[in-house]
């Protein structure tokens, strides 16, 4: 019962003691001032540090020409510092303001004469602060006394604003200077400012260096020409810094070219290893570029197989690359083994009708995409799908205009072959067939209008004689009225032919009039259906049509001539016998 009584008394006393409105309002003003001072100081510090770091970054970028990655790291570092300042000195005071007890302690330290009354007045007026038997009247008297003492006190005194004023002034000065520099510093400062936020613009210099073909790929042993142009102030000379892959470094002097004094160049001869380089012109420096030195693709082996034209009926023959004497119309099958994996390849034809230039990558790509399409200068080679070092292709040998070929290659690293060996080709033409008339022997013979003319001939060809024609024309029919008679070979196509043909003049309807002079000859064709056919013709002979009487007189004259020649031969034989007998007798008389 007694415990209940004490509890009831304590609750009644608590209800009688109310927190001081005066003290509470003063502490609230102290809290606001403390918060505003802390946040303002943090923001001023953030401005000062941020602007100074940004200015330092701009200077370092101008001095060292930082690459994009380095500028990204600097920007991230600035962001980390700025975030730390905001979190530590701005966000944290906002999220965790000082409690009433902490504020009261701050005032107690500023005004020692309070002697703990303020903290006691704050704590004892809270609900449940008084225990059983505590005197509410004494607490009330304490609060009234504390209110009276605090009446003339400035609770904002404990908050020091010196740092806020100094940092605020510094922040204002920094912002004003930054605005003046950005506004009056010219485009160079604005470029550096944009570069600080990862712009790709170059660092402003009195001389800017432009390298239009910085990164290169060259063949091992080639010469490489490095060039740069000065934009702005053009110096007298420049400097080239080279860092070789082996670790050594060199510096070369760049001289202006004769055609353009703003272009500086240097040629490195017989390059054997990759390197990086940068160009200095006055105060300007180029980016760092890389020159990759790669071995050029070369032909390791070349296999050639000649496929003769079908009309020759000859089997394929292997040919050495140095012995390419090929029949016109043949198909040369090529298998090339390269020293590297190949992306594209083509045959570069050499000859009076072919260009000596190598195909470009785009042209070779078009050829490779359409392997059945040939050009007058280049023929594509197909790359083996599983072994990219093996190339296959074929070349049709024309009758003329081709003296050789070379192999152009583009490897998978984009390196072209250069100074490829030229494989010489000797084109052997299919010679036309030959034919001669063996009978009659005389160039001109006399015949009657119904005579049968016996014509003997011999023909030969490298491979086969396909057609034989007897061609003729009459002197009265005009120079272009040539007619022919196809001779039957009996489905044969021999390489050598010896035949006779009986030409019946009586088959003409109407018959040729007497006095007509017929010119005739034999024509033969071979079976060349690729570059031919080849055509051969015999000598021309003549048949003059006469009356039977004139023919008889011609025969008698020829018989007389023959008998006269026999008589002369017999006389010559008799004289030889007499001379031989005299020689024998003289030798018999000799001792």
> CA dist 179 to 51, 173, 187, 190, Å?
11, 10, 14, 11
Q: Which residue has the tokens 């088959």?
A: 507
Dihedral, 190, 195, 201, 204 alpha carbons, nearest 10:
60
Instruction: Classify the phi-psi angles of 115: left when phi > 0, otherwise alpha if psi is within -120 to 50, otherwise beta.
Output: left
pLDDT at 198: 86
Neighbour-count burial for 332-359, b at 16+ CB within 10 Å, e otherwise: bbbebebebebbbbbbbbbbeebeeebb
Which ranges in 151-272 belong to alpha helices (H)?
Answer: 162-184, 187-196
Tokens of 156: 């904002």
Residues 6+ apart with CB under 8 A from 228: 209, 210, 211, 238, 254, 263, 264, 265, 279, 281, 286
Phi and psi at 198, nearest 5°, equal: 75, 30
pLDDT at 479: 56
pLDDT at 129: 64
Tokens of 557: 């004259």
Judge contact between 123 and 134, C-beta under 8 A. no
Phi and psi at 301, nearest 5°, equal: -150, 155
Instruction: Classify the phi-psi angles of 481: left when phi > 0, otherwise alpha if psi is within -120 to 50, otherwise beta.
Output: beta
Q: What gap in Å lies between CA 134 and CA 409, rounded to an integer?
A: 106
pLDDT at 569: 67
Neighbour-count burial for 147-174, b at 16+ CB within 10 Å, e otherwise: bebbeeeebbebbeeeebeebbebbeeb
> CA dist 419 to 37, 162, 358, 390, Å?
80, 81, 10, 20
DSSP 152: T
Instruction: Classify the phi-psi angles of 243: left when phi > 0, otherwise alpha if psi is within -120 to 50, otherwise beta.
Output: beta
Helix (H, G, I), strand (E, B) or coil at 216: strand
**Of 247, 254, 262, 259, nearest in space to 225 by CA:** 254
Element (H, E) at 579: helix 548-589
303-309: list long-range contacts, CB under 8 Å, 24+ apart: 303/334, 303/335, 303/336, 304/332, 304/333, 304/334, 305/332, 305/333, 306/330, 306/331, 306/332, 306/333, 307/331, 307/332, 307/333, 309/528, 309/529, 309/530
Burial of 82 (0-12, 13-18, 19+ CB in 10 A): middle
Tokens of 118: 């303020």
pLDDT at 564: 60
**How many C-beta atoms surround the C-beta of residue 242 within 10 A?**
17
> CA dist 24 to 14, 144, 150, 276, Å?
18, 13, 11, 73
Burial of 209 (0-12, 13-18, 19+ CB in 10 A): buried
DSSP state string for 362-387: HHHHHHHHSTT---SSEEEEEEPSS-
Judge contact between 391 and 336, C-beta under 8 A. yes
Helix 2-16 crosses helix 136-150 at what angle (to 10 degrees)?
Answer: 20
Q: What gap in Å lies between CA 395 and CA 346, rounded to an integer?
A: 11
pLDDT along the chain (591 residues), means of 10: 49 58 78 86 90 89 85 91 90 85 78 75 70 70 74 76 86 88 81 86 85 91 94 92 94 93 94 95 90 94 94 93 92 95 93 53 42 61 94 92 93 88 92 93 88 92 92 75 87 88 88 88 92 91 89 77 63 68 67 57
Helix (H, G, I), strand (E, B) or coil at 393: strand
| CA atoms in the 13 A half-sphere facing the CB of 355 | 8
**Of 372, 376, 381, 324, nearest in space to 350 by CA:** 376
pLDDT at 331: 94
pLDDT at 574: 67
pLDDT at 459: 94
Q: What gap in Å lies between CA 479 and CA 471, rounded to an integer?
A: 13
Q: Name the β-bridge partners of 299.
A: 338
**How many C-beta atoms surround the C-beta of residue 39 within 10 A?**
17
What's the CA angle centered on 361, arms 356 and 367, to 5 degrees? 80
Judge contact between 432 and 463, C-beta under 8 A. no
Burial of 583 (0-12, 13-18, 19+ CB in 10 A): exposed
**How many C-beta atoms surround the C-beta of residue 58 within 10 A?**
19
What's the CA angle centered on 83, arms 77 and 88, to 5 degrees? 130
């Amino acid at each position: 019962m007694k415990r209940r009584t004490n509890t009831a008394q304590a609750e009644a006393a608590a209800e009688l003691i109310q927190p001081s409105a005066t003290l509470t309002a003063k502490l609230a003003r102290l809290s606001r001032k403390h918060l505003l001072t802390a946040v303002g100081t943090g923001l001023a510090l953030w401005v000062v540090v941020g602007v100074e770091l940004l200015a330092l970054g701009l200077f370092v970028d101008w001095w060292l020409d930082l690459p994009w990655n380095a500028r990204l790291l600097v920007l991230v570092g600035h962001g980390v510092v700025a975030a730390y300042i905001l979190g530590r000195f701005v966000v944290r005071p906002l999220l965790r303001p000082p409690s009433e007890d902490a504020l009261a302690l701050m005032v107690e330290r500023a005004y020692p004469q309070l002697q703990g009354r303020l903290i006691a007045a704050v704590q004892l007026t809270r609900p449940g602060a008084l225990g059983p038997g505590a005197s509410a009247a004494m607490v009330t008297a304490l609060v009234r006394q504390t209110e009276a003492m605090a009446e003339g006190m400035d609770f904002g005194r404990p908050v020091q604003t010196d740092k806020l004023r100094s940092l605020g002034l510094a922040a204002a000065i920094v912002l004003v200077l930054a605005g003046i520099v950005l506004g009056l510093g010219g485009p160079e400062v604005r470029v550096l400012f944009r570069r600080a936020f990862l712009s790709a613009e170059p660092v402003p210099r009195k001389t800017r260096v432009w390298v239009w073909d910085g990164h290169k790929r060259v063949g091992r042993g080639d010469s490489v020409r490095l060039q740069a142009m000065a934009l702005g102030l053009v110096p007298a000379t420049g400097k080239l810094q080279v860092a070789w892959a082996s670790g050594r470094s060199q510096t070369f002097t760049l001289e202006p070219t004769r055609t353009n004094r703003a272009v500086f160049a240097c040629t490195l001869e017989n390059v054997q290893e990759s390197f990086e380089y940068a160009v200095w012109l006055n105060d300007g420096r180029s980016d760092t570029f890389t020159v990759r030195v790669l071995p050029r693709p070369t032909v390791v082996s070349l296999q050639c197989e000649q496929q003769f034209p079908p009309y020759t009926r000859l089997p394929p023959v292997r040919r050495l690359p140095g012995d390419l004497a090929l029949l016109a119309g043949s198909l040369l099958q090529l298998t090339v083994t390269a020293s590297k994996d190949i992306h594209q390849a083509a045959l570069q034809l050499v000859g009076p009708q072919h260009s000596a230039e190598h195909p470009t990558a785009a042209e070779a790509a078009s050829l490779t995409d359409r392997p059945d399409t040939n050009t007058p200068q280049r023929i594509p080679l197909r790359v083996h799908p599983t072994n990219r070092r093996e190339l296959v292709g074929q070349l049709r040998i024309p009758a003329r205009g081709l003296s050789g070929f070379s192999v152009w290659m583009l490897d998978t690293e984009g390196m072209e072959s250069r100074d490829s060996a030229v494989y010489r080709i000797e084109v052997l033409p299919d010679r036309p067939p030959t034919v001669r008339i063996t009978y009659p022997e005389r160039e001109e013979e006399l015949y009657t209008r119904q005579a049968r003319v016996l014509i003997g001939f011999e023909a030969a060809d490298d491979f086969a004689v396909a057609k034989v024609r007897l061609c003729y024309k009459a002197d009265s029919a005009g120079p272009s009225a040539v007619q022919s008679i196809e001779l039957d070979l009996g489905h044969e196509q021999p390489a050598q032919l010896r035949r006779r043909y009986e030409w019946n003049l009586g088959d003409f309807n109407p018959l040729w009039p007497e006095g007509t002079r017929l010119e005739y000859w034999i024509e033969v064709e071979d079976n060349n259906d690729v570059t031919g056919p080849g055509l051969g013709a015999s000598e021309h002979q003549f048949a003059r049509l006469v009356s039977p009487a004139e023919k008889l007189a011609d025969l008698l004259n020829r018989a007389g001539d023959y008998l006269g020649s026999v008589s002369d031969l017999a006389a010559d034989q008799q004289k030889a016998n007499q001379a031989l007998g005299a020689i024998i007798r003289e030798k018999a008389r000799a001792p």
